[in-house]
Structure formats: structure tokens, C-alpha cells
Amino acid sequence: MSRPACAVRNAARLLATATERAHAGTGRLVLLRGATGTGRTTVLEAAAEDAGAHGMQVLRARCSAGDSAIPFAAILQLFGLIPEFADPAWDGDERATGAGLRRVLRSWAERSPLLIAVDDVHLADPASRRWLVESARLMDRLPIVLLVTERSQYDIDPPAQGLAHSLSPALVTTHTLTPLSDNSATAAARSAFPDADDSWIEDCVRAGAGTPLLLRALLDDLSDGSHPVVPDTSAALYRGAFPAAVQWWLDCAGPGTAEVARTLAILDEGWDHGPSAAFPVLHIPSLLAELSGADPARVAGWITAMTGLGLLRPDGMGRARYAHPLLRDEMLTGVSAARRRAAHRTTAEAMLHRGVSSELVARQLLLTDVVDAPWALSVLQDAAALALRAGHIEDAVAFLRRALDEPLADEGRQRLLTELGSLEYAVPGSSTAILRLTEALRLPGPPQERVRAAVALGTALTGRGRTRAGVEVLRSLYDALADRPDLVRILRQAFLQLSDRDQLVRQEAYKRLAEVAERSPESISTAGHAFLVKYAVTAGMTSAREAMLRLRGLLAEPADPLSEPYLLGTAAVVAQWADELDEAERLVERGLTGQRPDVLHPMHEALLNTRVDIVAARADYTRLLAGPPPAATTPTNAHAHALTALVEAGRTAEAERLAESFDLRTAPESWELNRFLYARGQLRAANGDLAGALHDFLECGRRQSAREVFSPVVTPWRTAAAECHLALGVPREALALAEEELRLARVWNTPRTVGRALRVLGTATGGRRGLDLTQEAVRLLRGGPAGPEIVAALLALGRQLTASGESSRARDTLREAAGLAERLGAIRLRDLAEEALRAGGARRPATRTGAASLTDSERRIAELAAGGRTNAEIAALLHLARRTVETHLTHSYRKLGIQRRSALSTALTGGDVPRGSLVSGRDA
């Protein structure tokens, strides 16, 4: 890579002027200054070649530190080939020798103009420097250009005086070579790699650090095209030009600067993945000075200078960091691991004393050996808590793993292992959680800590599909804690919650609980009684009103803090089933507030599941689909709700991909599997696979019944299967299922469950009786939460009215269904309502507004405009006339009910924007 054209041109103009003066008999000292790697030598060599091509005599010398003890070593290079000076006789008189050399110089200058090129004059021996200074004073009377390069870089050790320090400015022309700008470096990298993507080029620019030498070396190393990304380690660079260039830079900088540069690299590696929040500012110069033994003032100046050159760049917290990890890695070459660990410990302690955040101090401790001091363990645990609060689970895990290396008593190790195992369980792909929790349980410790470890281990085992092993862990402590009935109750509550994952375990657990409650109800905790209420609900033995009265009474009683999560979580589930959604939400938030995120607890996931259930009960499909479902090998409750939401939103292709991502044949038995079976049945029914849907609904029912879950409050599989039977022409089976669900629904007696059963029974019954049942369903559902059930009931009623010849009333009913469906985002039901309108003879079934009403072209143009594109840009991108774009946008504004371009984004994503009427009032 050559020097940027502007630098070459500027230097060439400068030297051309000096050459013209030399031809006229008036010479000049031209001083080229610049930091290491900025290309001083390159410019000097180009100038020498150009001078020779224009008939000038050229004498060259390159100074080096190794010759600094030899008098006139640099001058010997200049005149070594001159016959008059081929074998100089040194008499020890520097002044006489210098005068003799100047006489030789004059004689040569009399023949033709002369260019004397001296590279790296800052390394010249003292005698040569003095001779050059004295000679420079004569240049204005001789046809000689003295071209000298000198390193001008801020180093830790104060620099010696420059060559021109004692010369009049009138005798010297100075030109300073500046670092590469980002634009210049980008142009150079793009020239070498024209097809590279922008991020790759940007990485090259940062690693080049504004230094032509480093950038050229890096591009040479990358020239084989084997690096899709710029590596973070110099070991990946096969040719090794870049590592050699960095090491040369360090050698040129001197031992003091090199020491500080390497020390900063050690600090820098401890700052990776630092927190984004603001913390007390760490005074880097003083810390670097303390670690390296340098002058703090010089260190501060060096940081400023290196930032100006591009080698360092401040991060979001204002810390000076290497511009690219590759630079830092090469700076660390040759630094022993022991020295790095020791530096990180010293840094951690210094940061702690300066009041820096625990998280930043802990990042240094991650790179140290055991500290064996109380402050280290405290810092690591505090940092883990901060990271967890910020949602950085993997960081918290790293801090706690490091904390385990510090000396700990059994009780502290037990508590730490429980926390660490709980967090590792939440990290995808981690296989150590159960091992940590098992170790925690085996350690001797206070009874409460043992219970905490047992509950966490049982929860982890159950979550991994090993429910029996999980509950056995809890049961194994019953006898050992016989003198602590309060803790045994906690274990039994955890047992009950975890038993939901296994059919046989669940039956055994609730049978035992019911027997104890019948024999001595006072021995059962409030949470235990709440579990009994929940069991009665699922078994179809109580009404919503009775269940909620009982639970509210239990919630009003004083609660043991350890039992409260079980009480709140269980009450929240039942409140959600009872359509008391606001109350359920409050209970969930109370329960989650009391949870410790660093200790695995069976109610934590249960509360999160209930939160999702509440969103689904409100038919908030946008929120349900706001992000991808959690990564899992078996379907979860969140996957089931996402599948249902995709079906209802009309996104069947995505729903099919989600359904096909699980092999249900290998999924362990659980209530979540049953719920997913029900959701897959909905997908199959929507796609017209009625036999497949019927299979899923009946299999869901078989599994639920085996678990003694008979109430339709969780998964109304009977009505879903009945609708499949009707579509397949088997009305008798449909009637039997619908009647049974209505019987169970009337026990629970909420509008949602009873209305659903009445709707399906009305469709299965048909005739006037069926119409009456469906009308009753509509009346009942109008008093409950607005959701897909009222839409489905209106749709069923509209179809029955059409069949009975009441066309006008049917159309009004179906339009209401279509309008409600669109407001909910229930595209599947809206399409069914519009299809029923067309079948009933409506020529304009519905007039949509909102995002769903946009044509494909209108939506595409509106999305581009919402993304910030101008009309002209959209027209060019889509190859349309600008007027066409404007027309489409005008139509889109009207349909979306907005007046400004700034409202497009919200309107397109279904946010709160003014909307027009969703359905038309009359037929055409």
C-alpha cells in the first residue's frame, strides 16, 4: 500500500521548491517529521529517486541506535563512497574533522546541486548530529538540499531536543506527516479489497490505527482472502507482517513506552464486555503509572497522543482502549501469563480503593489467580448480583464461577453452589447446573440452606424431564428435617408444584394431600389448601365463584414468607381461569417480586407461564408474537400460545414451521405437551386436516383425563373435537362431546367456558333449538372479556341465521364478527366471517381499514416510507413514477386513519392510532 496521494503531493511540492532553490545556489534544510509508521522513510526514498532523476547528486545515510557510540557514523555513510573521504584519518579533533568534511561537501556541491538524505536523524551519533546542525547553517549559501527525517512521537521518556532546535526557523522547512484519517484508510483498504463488505473494511481501518505501516502490513497478511472476518488474534495471521510491524513500533517507542503500552493491553483485556451503565470514572493514567512505574503526567500525555494518532479510542465509559482487539493481542505478545494475572490483581485492588463499580473490579478478578482475601469474594458476589439485575445471566455465572476459586466455608460454598447452579440452569447449553446443585445438597449446612438447595435441584431435574428424580430429592429430606415441620411443608409444596410434570406423580401427590387435609386440615399450610382448590378446579368439582372466594380467604391469612410464592402462584392460575385477569396479573407480579432470580424455584416458571396465559386470554396476539419463543428441545407453554396466536393471526406458514420443529413422539409427559397438542390441533383444523386435528384433540383429552384434569378451563378439547366430528359428518359424536363439555362448563360457570360449549352444542344440535343455544352463547359471551370466543359465537350465529333464511340479520351479525375479529387481529376468524358474508349473498362483505386493509403495493411503499425513505428514493427503488408513490401513500394514510408520515410506523405495527370504521353499514 502506498502513502496517501495527498501526503506524497505535499511532500513533493515542498521538495520541488527546495530543489529549485538549490539549483539557484541557495540550499535548505528540509525536516520531515512524523510518528512511527507514518511513512517518513517512504517519502524520503521517493524524494531521493526523484532528485536523482532530475540530475542532482544524492548522498544517503540511515541512522540506527546501534551506531550511536561511533563518532561520525552517519556522516561516514554519506561520504564513504567519495574518494577524498574513502579512508579518513581520525585525529580526535571533532571540530577539525567537521571542517574537513564540510570542505569535501563544498567541493562536491560545486560540481552540481546535491541532495543529502538522512533517515531517522534522531538515532544519529552526537558528532554526526552536531555536524549536520552546523552544516545546516551554511545551506542557504550552497546548492544543497539537506533532507532529514525525524521521529516526533510522544513517548513516556521525555524526548531529546530535535535537530532543528538551535536553528533559526528561516533556515528550516518542516513538514509533519499526519496519521491516516478514517476516510484515507478506508480508501486504501477498499482499493486492496474492492469486494469486501463495509464492516470488514471498518475493522481493517481500526486495526490499522491510523498508521500506514500497520495498515499496509495487515492488508498484506489478509491478502490471501482466507479471513472472512478480521481476526482478534495475531496468531491467525500467517505471513506475520502485522505482528512484526507492531513489534517494530514498540521497539522504536523505547522501553518506557513499550512497558506502558503492554500494561494498558493487560488492563484492556479485563474490560471486555463491560457494563454499559455509568460508573465512577477510573483515572487510567495514574493506574497505568502505578502498574508500570512511569510518570503519571507522561502517561496522561501518552494516552492523549496515542488517541490522536488512532492507536487508542475511548469506549462508551471514556476509557482509552486499543482501537482493535488484534492490536491489543499483539501488544501482549511476550507478556507472561503470570505477569498478566498479577497485573490484573493489582488493578482490581487499585480500582476497588478508587470506588470503581464491583462489576468492573470483578472483571479484573476473572483474569487473576486466587486472591485469598475477603474483599475478592464480596466483590465477585456483588458483581454477580448487579449483572443479574441487569439481565446479564452469563456474566453473573462467570463471576460466581470465579468466586468458587476463593477459600470458602462449607455454608458459604453451599449457598454459592446453589446460586451458581440455579443460574447455570438458565444458560442455554449449560450441562453443569445439576452437578453444582447436587454438590450443594451434599454439603453440611443450615437446614434452610439444604432445603433451598434441594428445591433448586428438584426444579432443575424436573425441568430436564426427570420429574421422579426431582421429587425424590425433596422427599429424601423429610426424615432428616422431622424436627422442622415448617421446612418439610416447603418441601411438600415444591413437591406438589413439580408433580404437575408427571401424571402418576401428580395423582400420588394430590391423593396424599387430600388424605392429610381430611384427617387434619390444620396441618396443611395455606399454600397446601390453595393447591387443593386448584385440583378441585381442574377436576371439575367447583365453580369459579367458590374457588375465588376460598383463595381470597387464604390470601387474607398470614403467610409464611417461604410458602407465599406457592400461594400466590396457585391463586394466580385459578384467577386467570376464572377470567379475573387483572387480579391474576397483580398476583403474578407480587409473586415475581418476591422471587430471587439467583435461586431456582418451581414457582418462578409457573408465574411466568401464568403471565403468558393472561396475555393469551386477552387475545393479545401482537404481544404473544413480539419475540421468538424460548429455545427448547420440547414444546413449552410459550410455544403452545405462540402456535395458537400464529394460527389466529393468519400466519399459517410460520405456524407450520413452529409445529414441525418438535417431535412430539419423544417429548416427555407434561401438561405443556398437552397444551401444545391442542394448539397443533387448531393449526391442523385451520389447514383443513380435520382427521389430524381430531387426533390431536382426542389425544390431548386422553392425556388430560389420565391426569384427572376434566374441566375445560385449561384446554377445551371436547368442543374442538366436536367441531371436527361435525365437519367430518359424525354429528352424534359431536353432540356427546359438546353436551359433556357444557355440563362441566356449567360447574365452573364463567361466560367464556359456558359460552364456548353452548356455541358448539348449538351448531351440533341445529334447527330452532340450536339457534336458541347459539343466541344464548352470544348473550353470555357479550358479558365476558372481548376475545375470539365472542367472534366465533357471532360467526356461528350468522351461519345459522343464513341457513334459516334470516339473511339481513345474518349479515349484520357476520359484519359484527368481522369487525371484532379485525380489531383483535384474529385474521383467521375475520376471513371466515367474510367468507360467510359472501356465501350469504353480501356483495361488499366488509370494508377494512388499518394495516390489514393495505394492498401489497401500498404496504411495501408505506413500510419504506416508515423506514425513512423519501418518495423519490422509493420511486427509484421500486422503479415507479413518483406520482404513483404519492398516490399509494395517500390511500395508505386514509386507510390507516393517520395524517402524518411520522405516524406510519406505529400504524403499520398495530399501535394506538386513530382508526376509521372497521365495517360498512350496508350492502351494495
Q: Which of 641, 616, 586, 913 is nearest to 787 (CA)?
A: 616
Give the chain's mean pLDDT. 87
Q: Given a cut of 90, is residue 379 above it in pLDDT?
A: yes
Q: pLDDT class for 2, splitting at 50, 70, 90?
A: very low
* Alpha carbon distance 615, 620 (integer Å): 6
C-alpha cell at 283: 483515572
Q: How far apart are CA 148 and CA 132, in angstroms?
A: 10
SS3 785: coil
Res 760: pLDDT: 96
Higher confidence at residue 384 or residue 891? 384
**Highest mean predicted confidence (pLDDT) among 103-112, 291-300, 574-583, 877-886:** 574-583
Q: How distant, in Å, are the alpha carbons of 108, 679, 704, 851 from that of 821?
A: 99, 19, 30, 14
Q: How long is the chain?
A: 924
Return the minimum-mean-pLDDT range out of 563-567, 600-604, 628-632, 852-856. 852-856
Summarize the confidence of residues 917-922 as an average pLDDT: 30
Please give the C-alpha separations between residue 486 and each of 445, 447, 456, 515, 525, in angstroms, as whole numbers: 17, 11, 18, 19, 9
Q: For strand 320-322 and strand 312-314, is the pairing parallel, antiparallel, or unpaired?
A: antiparallel
Give the per-residue pLDDT at 658. 94
Q: Mean pLDDT throughout 589-618?
A: 90
Q: What cell was used for 202?
A: 471498518
pLDDT tens, position by position, 319-370: 889 999 999 999 999 889 999 999 899 888 888 888 888 988 999 999 999 9
State pLDDT tens for residues 760-813.
Answer: 999 999 999 999 999 999 999 998 776 899 999 999 999 999 999 999 999 999
Report the pLDDT averaged over residues 396-411.
94
pLDDT at position 242: 94
Residue in the block written with cell 440452569: 425
Backbone angles phi, psi at 283, to 5 degrees: -85, 95
Q: Please, which residues have CB within 8 angstroms of residue 894's CB and are 6 or more apart in sequence?
A: none
pLDDT of 824 reads: 85
Question: Does this model's pTM top 0.75?
Answer: no
pLDDT of the residue at 214: 93
The fraction of the chain above a pLDDT of 70, given in percent, is: 93
How many angstroms separate the CA atoms of 430 and 421, rounded? 10
Question: Hey, CA dihedral for 269, 279, 261, 289, is it positive or negative?
Answer: negative
Mean pLDDT to the nearest integer, 828-839: 92
CA distance 112 to 379: 75
Q: Residue 39 half-sphere exposure, CB side, CA atoms within 13 Å?
A: 26
pLDDT 10s digits, 486-514: 899 999 999 999 998 888 888 888 888 88
To which H or E segment does residue 853 belong? none
When pLDDT is averaged across residues 531-544 and rounded to a whole number, the result is 95
Task: Read off the pLDDT band of 922 (50, 70, 90).
Answer: very low
Q: What is the pLDDT of residues 756-769, one digit of tens each?
A: 999 999 999 999 99
Low-confidence winner among 414-423, 563-572, 887-896 (lowest mean pLDDT): 887-896
Q: Is pLDDT at 89 greater than 70 in this prediction?
A: no
Q: Looking at this protein, which amino acid is placed at residue 278?
A: A
Q: Is the pLDDT of residue 913 over 70?
A: no
- Residue 279 in contact with residue 360, Cβ under 8 Å? yes
First to last CA, the chain: 74
By CB atoms closer than 10 A (0-12, 13-18, 19+), residue 784 is middle
Which alpha helices (DSSP H) does 749-806 contain, by range? Answer: 751-765, 767-782, 788-803
Q: What is residue 285's predicted lDDT score, i.e. its pLDDT?
A: 87
What single-letter DSSP state applies at residue 858?
H
Nearest to 616 by CA among 648, 588, 652: 648
Q: For position 626, what pLDDT does the model report?
A: 84
Q: How many other C-beta atoms lie within 10 A of the C-beta of residue 524?
A: 20
